[in-house]
Amino acid sequence: MLQLLEATVPIQRRIVRAGDTVFQVGQSFGSLYVVNSGFFKMVNLSNEGREQVVGLQFKGDWLGMDGIAAGHYGCDAVAIDTGEIWSVRYDALMQAALRTPALLTALHEAMSRELVRDHDSLLSLCTLPADARVAGFLRYWADALEQRGLRNDQITLFMTRAEIGNYLGMTLESVSRALTKLARGDVIRFIEKGRRDIQIPTVEALTRFIQHTAAPLERAAALH
């Protein structure tokens, strides 16, 4: 998809570093953005004025699609690591899509992935216990790396425990306890003292942990 974009539409490239903002909530919509490298978080404000992490974006993901309908961006897009973002004017993209059906197909697929991702995230928040949510978060990150041809047996968490908890609807303490539990069960391993680098011996172990942790709740729900 990145190669297709590069061949069919004018692109502006920008190097970003952790903390840099790509666009902000309420900003007038004019461009879509594609992650060429790095990691990004989507941040919104709750009714109480608190920051809420509402999404994570990896290489090949689109940013800013929520601005198409409203005419302005619905959240902040913030880099959480050094990377490169591609900016594409929306009007130019639409003209190129008319000439290149494969580009239009890529856009539709990206929108579909966003819908599926939002659905899965909401389902996780509503149905999984805390420990399983953290395991699911790590599996999601590992799966995202594998889909992009990157190694998924070792990941660097570019988010603090507080940010992960914010994203998963948990407290910082609950996230830390869940990670410790996963490490004690050898589902994950901490590589260094900062505990940002995590080794995942097998993704299947994460999946089994999620299933095992969620099973008591599922049995209880079935009884009711």
Tens digits of residue pLDDT in 56-91 = 999 999 999 989 988 999 999 999 999 999 999 999
Higher pLDDT, 147 or 127: 147
Domains and CATH numbers, the chain: 2-120 (2.60.120.10), 128-223 (1.10.10.10)
Kindly state the average pLDDT of the residues 93-109.
Answer: 90
Task: Using pLDDT thresholds of 50, 70 and 90, give the confidence band for residue 201.
Answer: very high
3-class DSSP string for the chain: CHHHHHHHCCCEEEEECCCCEEECCCCECCEEEEEEECCEEEEEECCCCCEEEEEEECCCCEECCCHHHHCECCCEEEECCCEEEEEEEHHHHHHHHHHCHHHHHHHHHHHHHHHHHHHHHHHHHHHCCHHHHHHHHHHHHHHHHHHCCCCCCEEECCCCHHHHHHHHCCCHHHHHHHHHHHHHCCCCEECCCCCCEEECCCHHHHHHHHHHHHHHHHHHHHHC
